[in-house]
A = this chain, B = another copy of it.
Amino acid sequence: MGQSTNVTWHAGSIGRKDREQLLGQKGVIVWLTGLSASGKSTVACLLEEALLERGRHAYRLDGDNIRMGLNRNLGFSAEDRAENIRRIGEVAKLFADAGAIAITAFISPYQKDRDSVRASVASPEDFVEVFVKVSLETAEQRDPKGLYKKARAGLIKGFTGIDDPYEAPPSAEIVIESDSTAPEAAAKQILDYLEERGYLTA
């Protein structure tokens, strides 16, 4: 594909700091990663709710609003999975630049893809990786959509944890022990992290 040309940089008079001042918070990406049925979406929803209760502006990116919209022309090949995560990272960066707390909830199984996003953010504190850690046993017991069952039966190919690897993040900012932690407590764990590090004030 051709590369971009005719692009020049010119900053508007309004910048990220102004938007953060308005919202009374700092823009950040809270990147949840973990196996299917680890509880990512539930924790993301609860975190969003807790943030809203404190008057903070958050937005969730997940399969629901991404796979049917921006990334609907992507499949599940290795190449498309990488592009899926790249686009999500780019959109999350726009939300952080807008001053929002972007919460992403995707399996995002490959270290390389997550690291690419981390390496591309404006400053290191813009990327908070949350490893929602669950044993395969627990995930398979939960299996709310019956996907593990289908994968075990060979009806879904390349399913993360079954016949496609999940690469656990070695240095996530936050680790949620999903086998033994209720979703509410997990959301609180992230909220406390954000509060302690000053993300909830401008």
Interface 1/0 per residue, A38-51 and B, CB below 8 Å: 00010011001100
Interface contact A12-B45, CB-CB below 8 Å: yes
- Which residues of the other chain, B, contact A80 by a CB distance below 8 angstroms? 1-2
In the complex with contacts A49-B14, A52-B14, A64-B7, A94-B69 CB distance below 8 A = yes
The yes or no answer to A118 lying at the interface (CB within 8 A) is: no
CA distance A18 to B75 in the complex (A): 32
Interface segment among A54-62, A133-141, A164-172: the answer is A54-62
Q: Do A77 and B2 contact each other (CB < 8 Å), given the known contacts A91-B94, A98-B95, A98-B100? A: yes
Whether A60 pairs with B12 at a CB distance below 8 angstroms is yes
Give min CB distance, A89 to chain B, whole Å. Answer: 9
User: Is A13 engaged at the interface, CB distance under 8 Å to the other chain?
Assistant: yes
Q: How long is the Cα–Cα vector from A71 to B91 in the complex, in angstroms?
A: 11
A149 to chain B, nearest CB (A): 13
A2-20: CB near B (< 8 Å → 1, else 0) gives 1111111111111000110
Residue of B nearest to A55 (CB): B22
Contact: A57 with B19, CB < 8 Å? Answer: yes
CA distance A9 to B69 in the complex (A): 13
CB closest residue in chain B, given A50: B14
Question: Given known contacts A14-B52, A52-B19, is B3 in contact with A75 (CB within 8 Å)?
Answer: yes
Given A45-B14, A57-B22, answer yes or no on A4-B90 (Cβ-Cβ < 8 Å): no
B94 touches A4 (CB 8 A): no
- 11 more CB-based (< 8 A) A-B contacts, given A4-B68, A4-B72, A9-B64: A3-B75, A6-B156, A7-B64, A12-B44, A12-B48, A13-B49, A14-B49, A18-B52, A59-B94, A70-B90, A98-B100
